[in-house]
């Protein structure tokens, strides 16, 4: 069952959230590759392809993937986040296409071979989740992979913040368009001492309904 965060409103204006701070100070910032992303690439021997880092924020994951030979697009609502991402990618010599885009009203053109969502889905308004599921399904190649990382219901230390999910809820939200290949408890690496409990889900698209 989902929990309603007490301060979900603070996630509604993402542009303001990024203005006036260096991205390194934001709780989700990590210069390192996400552990679940790395594990998935290795376990499933996923070859470089067209990779969408959805809600790329500071662009750290997009940069890593470009350096691994993927053809990367990073999208985000916030122009200021994209400026930071551009700088991060430039400093690392990573070639990434950075696009300002609202995934709930997207102008992105697929197909992508992989879509990675590290912390975007869990901040979206609950009534838009079905729309999100249809959208990412439409952007993915039929043989593609969807990697979803959100807060887990077992994240009880942090006050407020993103919505929390359990595996059953994610499966029921995505089951009209995806099948779940893996679902496991994990951690959100970031700049905080406390690493929030995460739910990592690997999905593959069903044929278009
Ligand atoms: C918790 S941050 C995670 C950023 C990045 N994925 C990372 O792991 O460093 C969530 C990101 O989703 C972006 N976002 C929120 N709603 C969005 C939407 N509707 N479309 C695209 N991006 C969105 C925010 O601007 C923010 O950068």
Q: Of the residues 73, 81, 120, which should be mutated to test ligand 1's pocket, given the most ligand atoms within 8 Å of the CB?
A: 120
Note whether residue 126 is domain-resident.
yes
Number of domains in the chain: 1
* Interstrand relation of 178-187 and 164-165 (parallel, antiparallel or unpaired): unpaired
Q: Is 189 in the pocket of ligand 1 (CB under 6 A)?
A: no
Mean pLDDT, the chain, integer: 93
Note whether residue 159 is domain-resident.
yes
Hey, what are 194's tokens?
Answer: 């406390």
List pLDDT tens digits, range 13-70.
899 999 988 999 999 999 999 999 999 999 999 999 999 999 999 999 999 999 999 9
- Per-residue pLDDT, averaged over 114-133, amounts to 97
Nearest to 50 by CA among 68, 34, 73, 33: 73
Please report which residue ranges of the chain form alpha helices under DSSP H. 14-18, 35-43, 60-67, 79-91, 129-139, 167-174
**Residue 4 above 60 pLDDT?**
no
pLDDT tier at 7, thresholds 50, 70, 90 = low
- Residue of minimum CA distance from atom 27 in ligand 1: 57
List pLDDT tens digits, range 132-190.
999 999 999 999 999 999 999 999 998 888 999 999 999 999 999 999 999 999 999 99
pLDDT at 123: 95
Note whether residue 187 is domain-resident.
yes
Nearest to 108 by CA among 116, 117, 99: 99
Q: Is 106 in the pocket of ligand 1 (CB under 6 A)?
A: no
Q: Is 103 in the pocket of ligand 1 (CB under 6 A)?
A: yes
Domain limits for position 34: 8-205
Note whether residue 2 is domain-resident.
no
Instruction: Report the SS3 class of residue 61.
Output: helix
Q: Of the residues 15, 25, 55, which should be mutated to test ligand 1's pocket, given the most ligand atoms within 8 Å of the CB?
A: 55
Residue 156 gets which letter from DSSP?
-
Note whether residue 138 is domain-resident.
yes
Note whether residue 3 is domain-resident.
no
For 3, list phi and psi in degrees, rounded to 5.
Answer: -110, 140
* pTM of the predicted protein model: 0.95
Hey, what are 209's tokens?
Answer: 């309904």
Separation of first and last alpha carbons in the chain: 27
Q: Which residues of 74-86 are buried (b: 16+ CB within 10 A; e: fewer)?
A: bbbbbebbbebbe
pLDDT at 198: 98
pLDDT tier at 192, thresholds 50, 70, 90 = confident
Q: Is 121 in the pocket of ligand 1 (CB under 6 A)?
A: no
Q: Of the residues 19, 23, 52, 77, which should be mutated to test ligand 1's pocket, given the most ligand atoms within 8 Å of the CB?
A: 77
């Amino acid at each position: 069952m989902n929990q309603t965060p007490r301060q979900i409103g603070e996630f509604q204006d993402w542009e303001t959230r990024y203005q006036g701070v260096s991205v390194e100070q934001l709780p989700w910032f990590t210069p390192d590759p996400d552990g679940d992303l790395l594990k998935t690439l290795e376990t499933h021997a996923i070859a470089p392809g067209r990779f969408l880092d959805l809600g790329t924020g500071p662009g750290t994951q997009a940069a890593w993937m470009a350096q691994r030979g993927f053809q990367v697009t990073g999208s985000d609502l916030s122009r200021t986040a994209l400026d930071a991402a551009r700088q991060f990618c430039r400093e690392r010599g990573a070639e990434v296409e950075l696009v300002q885009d609202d995934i709930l009203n997207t102008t992105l053109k697929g197909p992508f071979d992989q879509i990675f969502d590290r912390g975007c889905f869990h901040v979206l308004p609950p009534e838009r989740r079905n729309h999100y599921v249809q959208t990412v399904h439409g952007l993915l190649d039929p043989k593609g992979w969807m990697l979803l990382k959100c807060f887990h219901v077992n994240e009880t230390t942090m006050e407020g913040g993103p919505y929390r999910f359990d595996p059953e809820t994610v499966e029921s939200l995505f089951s009209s368009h995806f099948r779940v290949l893996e679902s496991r408890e994990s951690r959100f690496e970031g700049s905080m001492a406390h690493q929030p409990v995460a739910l990592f889900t690997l999905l593959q698209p069903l044929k278009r309904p």
